[in-house]
Amino acid sequence: MDIKDIIKPENRVYGKTPLLTDNVMHYCPGCSHGTVHKLIAEVIDEMGIQEQTIGVSPVGCSVFAYNYLDIDWQQAAHGRAPALATATKRLHPEKYVFTYQGDGDLASIGTAEIMHACNRGENIVVIFINNAIYGMTGGQMAPTTLIGMKTATTPYGRDPKLHGNPLKITELIAQLDGTCFVTRQSVHNPGNVRKAKKAIRKAFENSMMDKGTSFVEIVGTCNSGWKLSPVQSNEWMVENMFPKYPLGDIKDI
C-alpha cells in the first residue's frame, strides 16, 4: 500500500488538538512541560470546556503557558497561583480553574499558598510539575532535589546536613482534609502519558463536584538542568526519581 493512500484525512487517528495554539513552545527539546500542556489541552477539548476554563500560570519555565493553550489565563506572582485561583474560583464558581506550577514555585516560595489553598479545600485543580530543579533560572537546587543530586548550587551533590532533605510535598498535601484527590504521575512513555491524562481529567471533573482540591503531581524531566539528553533524562528519572517519588494515587475520595 502506498504511503499516500494511508495519509488521508479519513485515516487520521491522532494529531495536535486545536486547543493548542500554533505557537512553537519555547521549552528545551524533550522538556516534560510540553507533554503536560498537551494533556491539559486534550482534556479541556474532550470535556468541551474551552470557554469555561481559566488557568493560572506560575513563575518558572512554564510562565508562558498562556501562549500555548487557547483558554483564559492569569499569571501569578511567584508561588501565588493558588491564591489567585482561589479568588477566581470563588468569584466564578461556574468556571474550571487550575494552577500550573513547578517545584520551585509550589514547594519553595509558594509553600504557604499551596498548603492553605489545599487545606481550605478550594475547588480548584493543581498541576504540579516536579523536575527537582529550578529550570528557568539555570538549574539551582529545589526543595525536591534528590540527595546527592548535582545542581548549580549543589555542585558536589545535595547534602542533607547542609541543604536539608527532599520535600515530599505531595504526601503532605494528601494529609490535608481539604484535598479529595492527590496523585503522582509521569509522562515519559505512552502508557504513563495516558494514565496522567486520566488523572488530569478526573481532577477537572472533581472541581465541579464541591469535593475540595485535586492535586496532580507530574514527575518530569529538566534535561538542560540535569545535563543529560532528553532520552537519558527519562531513564535517569525512572531510576532515581521514582524510588523517592513513587507513582500512583495517594488519596482518592
Question: What residue ranges bind other proteins (CB under 8 A)?
Answer: 1, 3, 5-8, 11-17, 20, 24-25, 27-35, 38, 187-190, 193-194, 229-231, 234
Site for ligand TPP in 207-236 (CB under 6 A): 222
Whether residue 141 contacts residue 198, with contact meaning beta carbons closer than 8 Å, is answered with no
Binding residue (CB under 5 A) for Mg ion from 102, 143, 178, 212 = 102
Identify the bridge partners of residue 208 per DSSP, sorted by sequence position: none
Question: Cell numbers at residue 26, please?
Answer: 519555547
Q: What whole-number distance in Å separates Cα of residue 59 and Cα of residue 104?
A: 9
What x/- string results for residues 206 through 245 when contact with ligand SF4 is judged by CB under 6 A?
A: ----------------xxxx--------------------
User: Which residue has the closest beta carbon to ligand SF4?
Assistant: 135
Residue with smaller CB distance to Mg ion, 178 or 225: 225
Q: Does 108 bind ligand SF4 (CB under 6 A)?
A: no
Q: Which residues contact 1 (CB under 8 A, 6 or more apart)?
A: none
CA torsion through residues 77, 78, 81, 83, sign:
negative
Q: Which strands form 96-102's sheet, in the order they lie side by side?
A: 72-75, 53-57, 96-102, 125-130, 213-219, 179-186, 248-252
User: In this complex, which beta carbon is closest to ligand TPP, that of residue 110 or of residue 212?
Assistant: 110
- Determine if 125 is a binding residue for ligand TPP (CB under 6 A): no
CA separation for the pair 213, 219 (Å, rounded): 19
As measured in angstroms, the least distance from the Cβ of 233 to ligand TPP is 13
Q: Which residues bind ligand SF4 (CB under 6 A)?
A: 27-28, 31, 33, 61, 131, 135-136, 222-225
